[in-house]
Every structure is written in structure tokens, then in C-alpha cells.
Structure 1
Amino acid sequence: MRLFPHLSPKSAIQSCILLSTFLGAQVAQAEIPLNIDDPQSIKDAAKTVAKKLTSYYTGWRPGDVPGNLPAPYYWWEAGAMFAALMDYWYYTGDDQYNDITMQAMMHQVGTDHDYQPANQSRTSGNDDQAFWGMAAMTAAEVKFPNPKPDQPQWLALAQAVFNTQMTRWHNQTCGGGLKWSINHWGNGWIYKNTISNGCFFNIAARLALYTGNETYARWAEETWSWAFNVGLISPTYQFFDGTDDDENCTSINHVQWSYNNGVFMSGLASMYNFTNGDQKWKERLEGTIRGAEIFFKDNVMTEVACEGNDKCNLDQRSFKAYLSRWMGHTAKLAPFTYDLIMPKLRTSAQAAAKQCSGPDNACGLRWIRQGDYDGSTGVGEQMAALEVIQANLVDQVAGPANEKTGISEGDVNAGLGGDPAPTFSDITTGDKAGAGLLTSIILLGVLGGVWWMIA
């Protein structure tokens, strides 16, 4: 039977091709099915998203560099992606990406085993290094398979990152804090940004919980107090972008990014757990969760500073991944937060699944569009969808391991190399305030905030 009996053979063939293309497009645009009340459905959806995420990664190929994403992605986002794949294994039990994750994490440790590889030394920031350190911390907490005995171990790697950053605590301006850039020639040398200090706080708090070592807890307290007193954290728990230490932190850049809230939220949950529910940490944690309301519209997560005006750059398209990740972490560590967090993760996951309707289930950025695929596709979008979907499996897994229940070996002196640790310093009234340049704008050498302020 001819499909198009009224057409010439040539026209019929052309029509078949058009129909095939149309039907293929229809398949590609089908959203990922997700029953948020069915753990197997959540796992299946996560599997589909993870498959597309790993398709962007080429480091496992012969001749390519393990642990690096292809241009134009920056090194730090690769570390964030491998943490997402560890989460994927933790939540679903699917180990098909464990080998490429292990290969990447080991290849990027650097000669001193502190995630400062030589090929990243000129441009690396404290936040870049910390994202790899937090991935190593995740590996220890979820009991990801250990590296070979002759290779650096997960806990020791996280401790090495903490120790190298501890020695960079900069008391000469603003009463302390970490600079964005590791090197004085870096664009961020004059900027003390919230994400760098938030990552340091996060690692310190999680190390305190894992090891029981009070020194880490003291650094977490110091970092929180510094960020709050200098104005990077408001009394109502808004987390702002950063501050210019050339001006001794006398102005604040008030742009808010979801990952700044999330990185502190996870650290606060760790401190709440570490202190057995101390009221101080409980109040800070609850305030931070409520402060995150700015990143939700009808319980659907959105990057408010750039989604509405279509200005999210490559980095910013991944930020919701980290808020999602750390909200799941928080709900597990601090049960009182469960009812505050899970409605947001549930609704956001459902919205994200509807956005995963691009070619090969590529996921879009704007979940608040509720199913109208926005055409924005990449590592960040895919990782965000993966993290928010799989975080809904938090009830199906054990909580983070610690020194007694974990399998990773540590080294309290890892990364120190004989460098002296800095002393704490009190923050004076004159040191309080905040910031000049937005992190991403510094990278571009652009001043001003025409599109940055939230409408």
C-alpha cells in the first residue's frame, strides 16, 4: 500500500521524509515521565537525565583530559558534575558512571593532592578548587568506592582543600575572609566573594560533622561570623554576591544567586547536626531556608537574577543544581526542615522533568515555564534537572557517613606543606559592609548593573 497514493513517487518519498522528521521531533520533545510519589519513577527519570548529562563529557576518550569538560565550560563545573554523578549513584544505586567519575577525580588531584592541578594554576579561584573539594567530601559521605590504596583518599582530599584555603584566610583587609582568586594576578584578587567563603564554610562544617574535630567547627563559626558581620549575609538571610577588599569591604553587591544560599544551607545543616540541634544553628538554618523563598515561584525553583531577562551565562545555568543538591542534604541532616524543603523539591522536580523535552531529553533552564521547552541546553541545565529530581529520593537513602560509619581515610595535615595557619581576627565596625563587582562581571571586565538587579 502506498502511503501517499495521490502523489508522484518522488513527492511521496519527500513527504515520507518530512513525516519521519516530524515524528522524530515529536519523540524528542516528549517530556520525561515522572511520578513524584514513586521511587522507581524518580530513578528512571534520573537515569534518563544522567545519560544526557554524561553525553556532554568527553574526558574518558583516549587523547582527551579526564576531568575536563570541553570548551567553553570551566574546570570548576566539571568537579560539580562529578559530585552530581556521585549523588546519582548514592540515590539510585546505578554505578554505570562510577568509573569515569573515579578516573576524573583522581586525574585532577594535582601533584600535591589538593585539587590544584598545574593546568589550572593561572586561573583558579578558591571557589573552583572548593567545588572539587566538596565533591571529594561527598564521596566520603556517601561511601563512594575508595580509590586504590596508593592514590589519595576522599577524606584526605577534602581536608587538603580545607587546609590550603585555611592558610589563605586574609586578615589584612575586611577583618578576614577568602579572596576569590588564589593568585594575586587573578581578576578576583581584589574581590571577596560569597561563594568562595561559602564553600570554605561548607567544607569546614561537613568535616566537623564527619570527623568530630572541633577545629573545623571553629572555622565554620569564624567564616559564618565574618560573612554576616561584613554584610554578605543580611539579618533576614539574604546572601549577596561579594565585596571589594580594595575598599575594605565598604559596599555590597546585592545580587543574589541560588548557590550562595544553598552552600551555606548545607553547612548550617551540618553544624546543626554536629551541635545536636543547638538553637543558634537552628535559627540560622531556618532563616536561610526561608530566605531561599526568593528563588521559588509557586514552589518552582528559578534563578531570579538572570532567568527572567534571559541573561544567565554558562556558569549561572548550573546554579540551581547546587541549591537542589544542598536542600536534599539539609532535609536529611536536619529533619525539622523536611516540611519546609520537600514541597519545593517535589514541585520543582516535576517542573524540571517537563522541561526535559529537548532532543534526547535535553533539559531546559526555565522550569517555571511548566513544560514549554525553552531551547536552553547544556551541562548546567542538565545537571540542575538531575539534582532536583534525584533529591526526591532522600527518604530512600542513609544519611551522610561519619568517621565511625564511613570507609574513607583522612589526613588532618593534608595539603599543609608546612605553611602556618592564620589566626582569627575580630571584625570591627569599620570593617563591616560589602562589595563592588559581581563575580561574573569581573571576569568580563564590565562594571555597572543594568540588567543585574532583580526586577
Structure 2
Amino acid sequence: MDIFLRAFRTFIAFHLLFSYSLVDALGLDLRSTDSIKSTSRTLAESAIKYYDGNKPGGTPGMLPAVGEFNWWEAGALFGQMVEYWYYTGDNTYNDITKQALLFQAGPDHNYEPENQTRTEGNDDQAFWAFAAMSAAEMKFPNPDPKQPQWLALAQAVFNRQAGRWDSKHCGGGLRWQFNPLNNGFMEKNTISNGCFFQLAARLARYTKNETYADWATKTYEWMVQSPLISNKTYEVYDGFSFTEEKCNTQPGPVQWSYNIGTMIAGTAFMYNHTNGDPKWKERLSGYLNNAQKVFFPEQYGGKTMVEYACEGQGNCNKDQRSFKAYLARWLAVAAQLAPYTQSQIMPWLQTSATSAVKVCSGGPPGGVVCGRKWYVDQDDGTRDIGNQMTAMSVVQANLIKNVPSLADHKTGTSTGDASAGNGNRGKPTSADILATRKITTGDKIGAWLLTTLMVLVTLGWVAFLLSDRDNWDWIHIAYGGSTSHHWYGR
């Protein structure tokens, strides 16, 4: 009898220990679909509180305070809200999500809104395209027929970016920025090219049009022969610069979770599209194995996601704070598209979700707030939308086995347009004109004459001002001085 009693007590102890690992202060119980949905709902509410573009005076699709440089993250947020509906069935945020995705598509319906021309890069544009593509794949409620449709929006971005393929420098690839006036125009990075690869792969799977598959293969093969990716170790680096004469073959040494995430997703879509081609299986497995070493390090148990390049030092910038959200999202879709990966991926998502909610605190009426470091047992006190997006993403990703397969052209409902790109106006944007138009001799002469005229006018105006010493005080004040210093020696 004592033996049976001890065995029973041992069973209870292990049961309680296991239960504790699956149930946290927010009530997350990974054994319960309803619990995962409930926690996802709480975290979605906490993330959307950062958004006010749907309120009077706001701009639909724009996040407040951080300005236009956060445009891409807003696209990522609304892509995540599409997934939230797909995972949970909760349509609370569908209207504001649809409003944001359509408004930011811009007048040409290609996610090149005019207020972003001085900051938008290929990677930024791609995150909005991903949101539209997810809406098509997940059968998110379609827009009114008079408005642009989800699949067509994604195709429009693909067409725009395919037209920017740069074979003249470094053998191919996309530049980071497509506006020549932007910093990054002379750089090629992984996220821009990885996103283009992923978008092409997703369109190939959805439409079964092999042109997209050819572009996915072409982009992948260029990336692995470039400094961006090691074809042997599947290490994924960030980017490199180039000049008109040569390429810098030394990429940045840092690996970021969203870079490898987009490669994991892209190879998973190609694996699925090709019905399990061993070539794409080998590549997908290679990236997953590298992710294990870098982003799920044994130092923290081997299953908790870590943005290793900045979390330990506490210096993640506003972009990097949300990177884990995208790796979590793309790991989930890889597990769905390539079921053989589930035994490797699901423990990462489960442990990371449990760890993420342990560093969340609060509740009604103030709402839940989450820390950044999941590998510690207490909230680190950091606060921003990136923290909320990452926690929400990794929790709801655990529902991936409970949702329908992603749609394609046979099962989907979204209308496409293979020629989309220039929208209603049917002409390129000013940025594209700058990037593609050849400079003629007439242009050079006109520019020289205009510059000379401007210089003469400026010199004449300065001479006029200096001719009257009463104007000197005004000049000094205008340039930040103070008349009390009498710097002009009066």
C-alpha cells in the first residue's frame, strides 16, 4: 500500500509541476484552445491600444507619436490582426484592419502612399503586401468590389519590386531603398530581398503561376551567392553596401530573427508549392537548425526565443523590439505548410509563449503590459508596441493546428490582377522616374543654369542685407544667435 501511495503522490507532484508550466498569471493554458484564444484576445487588445488612426483626426493605418518611420511596423501590426481573426474567429478589429490596409494602399493601390516617398523602402512596402497576402490566404472578409482586392494588392507590390531588380550592381537583387534620395539606396539587404523571395513564393503557391516560382528561385539563388547568406551553414546576415564600381563583400556580422524568419517562411511556401521538393526541404531544415542555435540558445533552455543581438545588452531599437513577432508568425506557417517541422517548431512556440506571458502584468481596467526578455522570470519594465506584438504573436501562433489550411486560387475568394501595380493613374511614381529616367545633356545644361541663377540671387540678397548694418542683428537671430552678444563688433 505504501508503494502505491508514494507512486500516487509522485504522479500528483509531476502533474502539478507540468500544469504550472502551462498555466500562468494571465491564465494561459496551452492544453486549452479556449485559453489560448482568451489570452490572445487580451494581448490583441493591449497591442491595438497603441493605435489611434481610426479616431477623429487620425490617419488610418498610421501609428502615433513615432511618426512616418514606423509605417512598416503598422503594416506588420495589421497583418498580425488579420492573423488574429484567422486564429480566433474574433472580428472585433476587422473593420479598422480593413480600413488601414485599404487606406495605406495609396492612390495607385500598390502601397506607395505619397506621404511615405521619403522614407519607404522595399522592405517597408513588403510588410504591407504580406498583410494583404495573408488576407487572401486566410480568407479575411473581402473589400467592397469597387475597392482594391487583397490578392491584387499583393500582386501590385510584387510587380513594382520585380521592376526594380538591379542586375547592374552585384549581379542582381533589390536595393534596400528604391528612392535614390533615401539613405540605403546604395545598399542591398536581406530583409528586402528575403521579403521579395517570400512574396513570390506565396504568390506561386496561391496562384500556381510558375512565373512567381521562377522569381522566388532566382531571388533565392542570388541571395545565397551574395554576402547575405551562407549556403553551407544557413547563417543569415543583414546587408552590404556597394558603389558603382564594386560590391562590399563583407556583410554586417549580426543575425536578426526577422531575417531568418522570412527565409524560413519563403522556403516553407516553396516546399509546399513543389509538393515537398527535397531541395526546398533541405533549405528549410537548414534555416531551422540555424535558428535553433542562434535564437533558441541552450544558454536559456533551448526553446525560448531570444533576440540575442540586442536583448542582453538592453539596446534594441524600436524596429528590433518587434522582430520576434515575425519569426513566431513565420515559424507557425512553416509548421502548417511543412508538417515534418512540427516536432521541432511547436516546442519553441509553446515554451516561448509560456515564457512571454510570465513577463506580462496588469489587467482591467488599465490593460496588460509585457516586458521584452522572455528568458527571465520577471518583467524587465520595458514598454512599447513591439513588446505587445511579440507576446501576442507567439501566443496565437500556438493555434496553428486548429485553423484551416491557407487558401489558394481554388479555395480562396480574393480577386487577383496579374498586371496590377500602377493603379488608376497608370504611371510610375516620382521616385521611380528618378530611379529609371536617363539624364540627358539638356538636363545637365538646365541644371547648371538653374544652379547658377540660384547662386547669383542668393549672393545679391546677402549683399543687400549686409549693406545695412541694421539687418545684421536680424541675420544673427535668424541663425540662432542673440543680439546681446554683439558678435559683429558694433
- Give the shorter-chain TM-score range: 0.7 to 0.9
CA distance in 2: counterparts of 1:401 and 1:115, whole angstroms: 23
1:385 alignment partner in structure 2: 391
Is 1:352–2:352 an aligned residue pair? no
CA distance in 1: counterparts of 2:427 and 2:265, whole angstroms: 30
1:287 alignment partner in structure 2: 286
1:52 alignment partner in structure 2: 46
What's the secondary structure of 1:56's corresponding residue?
coil
Which amino acid is 1:276 matched to? N
Give the alignment's TM-score, normalised by structure 2.
Answer: 0.78
Higher relative contact order (CA 8 A, sep 6+): 1
Is 1:230–2:230 an aligned residue pair? no
Mapping of 1:75-114 within 5 angstroms? 75-114=71-110
1:369 alignment partner in structure 2: 376
1:217 paired residue among 213, 219, 224? 213
Q: Are 2:227 and 2:249, in contact at CA under 8 Å, matched by a contact in 1?
A: no
TM-superposition CA deviations, 1:418-440 (whole Å, max 9, x none): 88xxxxxxxxxxxxxxxxxxxxx
Mapping of 1:54-453 within 5 angstroms? 54-72=48-66, 74-234=70-230, 235-246=232-243, 247-293=246-292, 294-296=294-296, 297-298=300-301, 299-358=303-362, 360-370=367-377, 372-415=378-421, 417=426
Q: Are 1:82 and 1:101, in contact at CA under 8 Å, matched by a contact in 2?
A: yes
CA distance in 2: counterparts of 1:151 and 1:77, whole angstroms: 24
270-279 or 230-239: bigger deviation: 230-239
What 5-or-longer segments of structure 2 have no aligned partner? 1-23, 429-490
CA distance in 1: counterparts of 2:143 and 2:360, whole angstroms: 34
What's the secondary structure of 2:39's corresponding residue?
helix
Q: Are 1:272 and 1:278, in contact at CA under 8 Å, matched by a contact in 2?
A: yes
1:37 alignment partner in structure 2: 31
Q: Are 1:230 and 1:249, in contact at CA under 8 Å, matched by a contact in 2?
A: no
CA distance in 2: counterparts of 1:31 and 1:224, whole angstroms: 43
2:7 alignment partner in structure 1: none
Q: Are 2:295 and 2:307, in contact at CA under 8 Å, matched by a contact in 1?
A: yes
CA distance in 2: counterparts of 1:168 and 1:396, whole angstroms: 39
1:430 alignment partner in structure 2: none
CA distance in 1: counterparts of 2:117 and 2:188, whole angstroms: 19
CA distance in 1: counterparts of 2:109 and 2:25, whole angstroms: 42
CA distance in 1: counterparts of 2:77 and 2:368, whole angstroms: 18
1:446 alignment partner in structure 2: none
Q: Are 1:31 and 1:355, in contact at CA under 8 Å, matched by a contact in 2?
A: no
Which amino acid is 1:119 matched to? N
2:445 alignment partner in structure 1: none
Q: Are 1:31 and 1:361, in contact at CA under 8 Å, matched by a contact in 2?
A: no
TM-superposition CA deviations, 1:83-138 (whole Å, max 9, x none): 11111100000000001001111110111100000000111000000000011000
CA distance in 2: counterparts of 1:64 and 1:364, whole angstroms: 28
CA distance in 2: counterparts of 1:382 and 1:307, whole angstroms: 15
2:453 alignment partner in structure 1: none
What's the secondary structure of 1:192's corresponding residue?
strand
What's the secondary structure of 2:254's corresponding residue?
strand
Q: Are 1:258 and 1:320, in contact at CA under 8 Å, matched by a contact in 2?
A: yes
What's the secondary structure of 1:162's corresponding residue?
helix
What's the secondary structure of 1:361's corresponding residue?
strand
Which amino acid is 1:261 matched to? I
CA distance in 1: counterparts of 2:341 and 2:358, whole angstroms: 27
What's the secondary structure of 1:83's corresponding residue?
helix
CA distance in 1: counterparts of 2:336 and 2:198, whole angstroms: 16
Which amino acid is 1:404 matched to? K
List structure 1 segments (4+ residues) > 3 angstroms apart after TM superposition: 416-419
TM-superposition CA deviations, 1:213-256 (whole Å, max 9, x none): 10100110011111100121112111100011224132211210
1:71 deviates by 2.0
CA distance in 2: counterparts of 1:213 and 1:38, whole angstroms: 39
Q: Are 2:166 and 2:175, in contact at CA under 8 Å, matched by a contact in 1?
A: yes
CA distance in 2: counterparts of 1:187 and 1:143, whole angstroms: 37
RMSD value, Cα = 1.2
CA distance in 1: counterparts of 2:111 and 2:262, whole angstroms: 19
Give the alignment's TM-score, normalised by structure 1.
Answer: 0.84
Q: Which has the larger radius of gyration?
A: 2
Identity rate of aligned residues, in percent? Answer: 55
Q: Are 1:133 and 1:161, in contact at CA under 8 Å, matched by a contact in 2?
A: yes
What's the secondary structure of 1:168's corresponding residue?
coil
CA distance in 2: counterparts of 1:386 and 1:49, whole angstroms: 5
